[in-house]
Amino acid sequence: MTAETPAAAGRTPSPDTTAALYFSGIGNTRYAVNRLARGLGVKDENILSIEDDEDRVQETLAHADTAIVAHPNYMCLMPKIMSDYLAQHGTWLANKDIITLVTYANFFFDADLQVARLLRKQGISFRAQSNISIQMPMIVCDMKLMKSTDTDIQSTLKAKADRKLDECAQIILAGGTVHDGQESDRLKAFLRQRMFYQGRIQKDFARLRISDACTRCGACVRACPKQNLTIREDRVVQSGHCTQCYRCANLCPRQAITLWGKKIQWQYKGI
């Protein structure tokens, strides 16, 4: 973590005029953004998800001069649901101080710089206040390789994340900035991840598998942030608009849904 001293930084965010906007698949990012925002004194009603009512988000952001924008790291990219949202509503962040926050499981390189790049690409002006990355448990639950062998990993990561989030809030409140991802990591991130996965992450995913174990309970249908799933007659069908958030795969009581892998290895219920 690189922290800049107050002298080198911009203005200090005021709790009354700071808002947060996030997407979270299973809850890691929601947890992290809430902790950071509360650390900065932000009111709960100003911490909003992109799944919340759009008018409410727009109005809240209109009254903010600092915005925390948070998402999980998918292969050094943001989920498609988030990039689509920012492509449509990025102007709501115009002329604000932006703190970006990314949660990741293993590595992030420069993932926490992606929001700033996307806004710049759209010609939206803003001031980059801080870019923060927080390690959290893995949510890809259908790949053996991704499964942690450490049973205490969740509580260890939570304690570590809490400490770092509180520390970041203190630095920012003192007028400083935090810069985790560095521009110099861009090539590394491209060569190791974006070059191979850009297409897979930034396209709607249409190859979800739903096994015969499904009882059509409807839990996945209700939870999906993309309304990608529907119950039709005797089965659950997908419309090809999955953002790969793994919410349905982690919650299905029958472990009937898989995306990248072929079998559920464990289910993550959130931090």
Could you list the residues that contact ligand FMN (CB under 6 A)?
24-29, 72-75, 103-107, 136, 138-140, 193, 244-246
Distance CA 245, CA 253 (A): 17
Which two tokens mark 71? 């998402």
Per CB under 6 A, does 252 bind ligand SF4? yes
Pick one of ligand SF4, ligand FMN, none as the site partner of residue 83 (Cβ within 5 to 8 A by kind): none
Binding partner of 27, given ligand FMN, ligand SF4, none, CB within 5-8 angstroms per partner class = ligand FMN
Residue of 189, 198, 165, 182 lying closest to 68 (CA atoms):
165
Q: C-beta of 226: minimal distance to ligand SF4 in Å?
A: 4
Spatial separation of the C-alpha atoms in residues 83 and 50, rounded to whole Å: 11
Query: Per CB under 6 A, which of residues 153..192 are in contact with ligand SF4?
Result: none
Which residues inside 59-98 make contact with ligand SF4, applying CB under 6 A? none
Among 244, 258, 264, 268, binds ligand SF4 (CB under 6 A): 244
**Of the residues 42, 208, 264, 271, which one makes contact with ligand SF4 according to CB under 6 A:** 208
Q: What are phi and psi of 240, to 5 degrees?
A: 85, 20
Which residues contact residue 218 at a Cβ distance below 8 angstroms, ignoring those fewer than 6 apart?
231
- Answer with the entry of ligand SF4, ligand FMN, none that 77 interacts with (C-beta below 5 to 8 A by kind): none
Least Å from the CB of residue 62 to ligand FMN: 26
240 binds ligand SF4 (CB under 6 A): no
Tokens matching residue 145: 């390789």
Residue 115 in the binding site for ligand SF4 (CB under 6 A) = no
Task: Tell me how far apart the alpha carbons of residues 141 and 153 are, in angstroms, rounded to a whole number.
Answer: 15
CB of 204 to ligand FMN, least distance (A): 13
> Which secondary-structure segment (H or E) carries 195?
helix 195-201
Q: Are 230 and 239 in contact, with CB atoms under 8 Å apart? A: yes
The SS3 of residue 12 is coil
Looking up tokens 């931090």 gives 271
| Residues near ligand SF4 (CB under 6 A) | 208, 210, 214-220, 223-226, 228-229, 236, 242-248, 252-254, 256-257
